[in-house]
């Protein structure tokens, strides 16, 4: 199980990204943090037997950082890398109202294989080749022309981007 939450005092767009992540990630739950201190957050995870946490932090009214963490008994340990967000772009929901859950990861740039392997381990979903059609929805990791990393939800049958895409300007190892 993965808990998704925000830093303190999140902006509306930061809360929206956290909500969207819960909708697409398998075995994810949202935790409304409010003024909950980190110690209480860890206790909540321990009581729920949750070992992984995604924390979405706000910048100037938009998400600026996504941190992947693992619970180690009574403390949280960062699972490198931390994702520094440049921009999040949302797409209209499909007319069918179909629920989307990620089933795999796809990659278009071999320079990011270390990051994708870590992400696959953290999310506990497999990496497949781009031309394999063994799953319907994938988290596609690619590079833009300006070399920014792009995480997008792709329907492998239609090749359309669904829900949102996150432009990452830097991975902090």
pLDDT in tens, 74-119: 788 888 889 999 999 998 876 565 678 999 999 987 888 999 999 9
| Mean pLDDT, all residues of the chain | 89
Quote the pLDDT of residue 2.
94
Ramachandran angles phi, psi of 132, nearest 5°: -75, 140
Tokens 């989307």, residue located:
100
Quote the pLDDT of residue 97.
59
**Distance, CA of 31 to CA of 47 (rounded, Å):** 13
Residues written for the chain: 173
Quote the pLDDT of residue 74.
79
Angle at 46 between CA 124 and CA 68, to 5 degrees: 40
**Distance, CA of 64 to CA of 117 (rounded, Å):** 23
Fold observed for domain 2-85: Rossmann fold (3.40.50)
- Residue numbers of the chain with a pLDDT score lower than 70: 94-98, 130-133
Residue 54 exposed, middle or buried by CB count within 10 Å (0-12, 13-18, 19+): buried
- For the chain, where do the domains classified as CATH 3.40.50.10480 start and end? 2-85
């Amino acid at each position: 199980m993965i808990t998704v939450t925000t830093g303190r005092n999140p902006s509306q767009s930061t809360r929206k990204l956290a909500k969207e992540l819960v909708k697409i990630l398998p075995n994810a739950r949202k935790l409304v943090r409010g003024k909950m201190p980190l110690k209480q957050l860890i206790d909540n995870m321990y009581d729920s037997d949750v070992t992984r946490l995604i924390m979405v932090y706000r910048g100037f009214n938009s998400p600026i950082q996504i941190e992947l963490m693992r619970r180690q008994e009574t403390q949280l340990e960062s699972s490198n890398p931390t994702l520094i967000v440049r921009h999040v772009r949302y797409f209209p929901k499909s007319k069918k109202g179909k629920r989307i859950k990620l089933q795999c990861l796809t990659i278009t740039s071999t320079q990011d294989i270390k990051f994708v392997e870590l992400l696959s381990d953290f999310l506990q979903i497999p990496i497949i080749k781009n031309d394999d059609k063994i799953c319907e929805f994938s988290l596609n990791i690619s590079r833009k022309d300006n070399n920014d990393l792009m995480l997008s939800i792709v329907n492998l049958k239609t090749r359309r981007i669904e829900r949102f895409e996150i432009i990452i300007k830097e991975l902090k190892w």
